[in-house]
Amino acid sequence: MKRWTRLHCGHHVCSASGAKEALDLLEQQPFDVMVTDHAMPGMTGAQLLTCAWKSIPMCVQ
């Protein structure tokens, strides 16, 4: 379940219910920052970041 929130300072926050949804979102649009939980449905946060680095050439650690 994708949720968007507009913060008071003008930033938008998108949340995903698990790693698969997060990867799908990353393929659909660019993000400036990604914050993950270590334990989440589907894979760990470290595994999610590794997948992001491999699939998105502009992604930096």
Q: Per the structure, how many domains does the chain have?
A: 1
Residue 10 belongs to a domain: yes
Tokens found for residue 57: 């050439």
Local structure of 41: helix, strand or coil:
coil
Residue 28 belongs to a domain: yes
Which pLDDT belongs to residue 8? Answer: 60
Residue 61 belongs to a domain: no
Residue 50 belongs to a domain: yes
Question: What number of CA atoms fall less than 13 Å from residue 61's CA on the CB side?
Answer: 7
How far is residue 32 from each of residues 6, 39, 41, 42, measured CA to CA in Å?
A: 15, 22, 23, 23
Residue 36 belongs to a domain: yes
Domain housing 13 = 3-55
Give me the amino acid identity at 10: G
Q: What is the pTM of this model?
A: 0.71
Predicted confidence pLDDT, tens digits, the chain (61 residues):
555 555 567 777 888 888 899 889 888 888 888 888 888 888 998 999 888 888 777 766 6
Residue 32 belongs to a domain: yes
Which pLDDT belongs to residue 17? Answer: 87
The rounded distance, in Å, linking the Cα atoms of 59 and 40 is 21
Residue 35 belongs to a domain: yes
